Amino acid sequence: MVTVAAGETLVGRDFGSKPLSMMANRAPTFNATLRSTAFAGALYYYDPTASDPDNDPVSFDLPVHPVGMAVHPTLGVIVWDPTFGQIGTHDVVLRARDDKGNVSLLPFQITVKAPNAAPVITSTPPAGPATVGLPFRYQVTAQDEGGGLTYGLTGVGNMAIDGNGLFSWTPVAGDVGTRHVVITVTDAGAARALRTFDITVAATSTKRRAPDHGHAANFRLARPDLPLSCSGPRHKRRPAHLLPPRGARGHDD
Ligand SMILES: [Ca+2]
Ligand SMILES: [Ca+2]
């Protein structure tokens, strides 16, 4: 121990003091917005951007990381191509070190998911035609391994699609002709399926009525004991024992 009285000076002794600037040197800091999700078979890229408050050069490494992950030693960019065998959650520690030996650690987790497949639209639009003033509907159905599907539409007039994929439209007179429709189905991972189709709009219904064969079934037997068979030219007309229904006008021809 050395005691220095007032007015005395001491030279030639090393007390281990360091310049203030070196004592105050600080560790690098991360400006990180974590990318905590990766997909198997797809490149994971993450640039956490670290800076040093003293503008010291910074170097990076990964003391904890899953197999295959690498970091650029001076840029700090992390790249990884996770395999299907790595689906799950992995611990990572990124270390930034300035040239004075000051260290900062950024611990985080990455969850590797199965790759996101686009939805598949499984329904077929109705052939049409649509008719002015009558509602036209098409239930869009789609399959996706992840769910969370949303439906979108590009069309005309009052075409609409609801949250369950029900397309509806009531054409107006100005819609007569052929109208183009694009329906999109998007999953939670932003993968998208498209279905485009045309709808022909008629001013009035063009559906033909089915032929009416109802009368034949309504006839009743006057002589249930006789056979119904009536093939051959002799029986071109209705058998005599086959009468029209009560209260109905029969017509043979
Ligand atoms: Ca520093
Ligand atoms: Ca999907």
Q: Say what the pLDDT of residue 31 is.
A: 86
| Phi-psi region at 216: left, alpha or beta (left = phi > 0; alpha = psi -120 to 50) | alpha
Q: Say what the pLDDT of residue 32 is.
A: 76
Q: Say what the pLDDT of residue 116 is.
A: 84
Q: Assign domain 120-202 to its CATH architecture.
A: Sandwich (2.60)
Q: Say what the pLDDT of residue 23 is.
A: 63
- Cα of 26 from ligand 1 centre, angstroms: 4
The answer to whether 26-113 and 120-202 have equal CATH topology is: yes
- Cα of 73 from ligand 2 centre, angstroms: 35
Q: Say what the pLDDT of residue 16 is.
A: 65
- Cα of 132 from ligand 1 centre, angstroms: 74
- Cα of 15 from ligand 1 centre, angstroms: 24
Ligand nearest to the CA of 97: 1
pLDDT tens digit at each of 253 positions of the chain: 656 577 676 566 676 665 555 568 999 999 878 889 999 988 999 998 899 999 999 999 999 999 999 999 999 999 999 999 999 999 999 999 999 999 999 999 999 998 888 999 999 998 879 999 999 999 999 999 887 899 999 988 889 999 999 999 999 999 999 999 999 999 988 899 999 999 999 998 655 544 444 444 344 445 545 454 444 444 444 444 444 444 444 444 3
As a CATH number, domain 26-113 is 2.60.40.10
Ligand nearest to the CA of 21: 1
- Cα of 114 from ligand 2 centre, angstroms: 10
Q: Say what the pLDDT of residue 244 is.
A: 47
Sketch the domain layout of the chain as residue ranges: 26-113, 120-202
- Cα of 59 from ligand 1 centre, angstroms: 11
- Cα of 60 from ligand 1 centre, angstroms: 14
Q: Say what the pLDDT of residue 49 is.
A: 85
- Cα of 74 from ligand 1 centre, angstroms: 14
- Cα of 84 from ligand 2 centre, angstroms: 16
Q: Residues 48-62: pLDDT tens digits? A: 889 999 999 999 999
- Cα of 55 from ligand 1 centre, angstroms: 7
